[in-house]
Amino acid sequence: MYDASTEKIEALTDKLTQLTEVVTQMTQIRDNRSSSSSSATLVGLRLPNVVLPVYRSTDDLDDFLHQLRSILATTETPTKHWVALLKQQVMQDKRAFDLVRLAESQYHSELTSAKSEEDYRNYYKKVQSFLSSKRGKPKEEKTLDLLTKFNAMSQNVDETVEEFSVRFLDLHHDLQKLIPNIYVTTSQEENGSTKLMTFSCSCSSL
């Protein structure tokens, strides 16, 4: 599935390059007219929203190219502006695709060991939770979710110390990106058998 999706993304990039060359020729006169006008006319210039295709078939790519041609026919935007935007959007979509692959690889063992419908549901819940912790939420909501997860964090019965430490460090790393200067403190009970881990934050005075 990864190979097929990667090929489709590469096909989109290739078609975008081909279309850019054609459009550059089509809009040469318009670009010359735009460049001869004052630079003030380009201030605040924004392109229409471009909807990237869902990678199911080549028809989606054709629809995408038709959308680009329509934009070109109905706007006075110089080619270089919308080409730069489209390249940026394609790269953002590729990063989103890579993030999904990262989530799937992190919980791959749970997918292969799933035996019941409930196991599969738990797998997809964990993948969705991982994705939502990485993107798509306001910073405050992300921070609250991560702190709540840390507060309830404990080693699973079937989890090795190494697996737990990786999960813990991943959570700590995510929190460090949201809360500067956060670090872990530990305290030990009198019997020496239990350690309590908490997050602390050092703030430098202005």
3-state DSSP assignment of residue 201: strand
Report which of residues 188 and 129 the model is more confident about.
129
The verdict on pTM exceeding 0.85 is: no
What is the residue-averaged pLDDT of the chain?
A: 68
Bridge partners, residue 205, by sequence: none
Contacts 24+ apart (CB under 8 A), 73-82: 75/47, 75/48, 76/30, 76/34, 77/45, 77/47, 78/27, 78/30, 78/31, 78/34, 78/35, 78/42, 79/20, 79/23, 79/24, 79/27, 79/31, 80/31, 81/42, 81/45, 81/47, 82/47, 82/50
What pLDDT, on the 0 to 100 scale, is given for residue 111?
A: 83
Mean pLDDT of 158-182: 80
Compute the average pLDDT of residues 64-78.
69
203 has pLDDT over 50: no
pLDDT at position 128, please? 78
- Alpha carbons 66 and 72: distance in angstroms, whole number: 10
Mean pLDDT of 158-186: 77
Which has more confidence, 23 or 113? Answer: 113
Task: Report pLDDT digits (tens) over 20-70.
Answer: 665 565 556 555 555 554 444 444 445 455 566 565 666 666 676 777 677
Residue 204's pLDDT is what? Answer: 43
Interval 160-188 mean pLDDT: 75
Q: What's residue 61's pLDDT?
A: 64
Q: Please state the domain extents for the chain.
A: 2-101, 137-206
Q: In whole angstroms, what is the distance from residue 72 CA to residue 12 CA?
A: 18
Confidence of residue 15 (pLDDT cuts 50, 70, 90): low
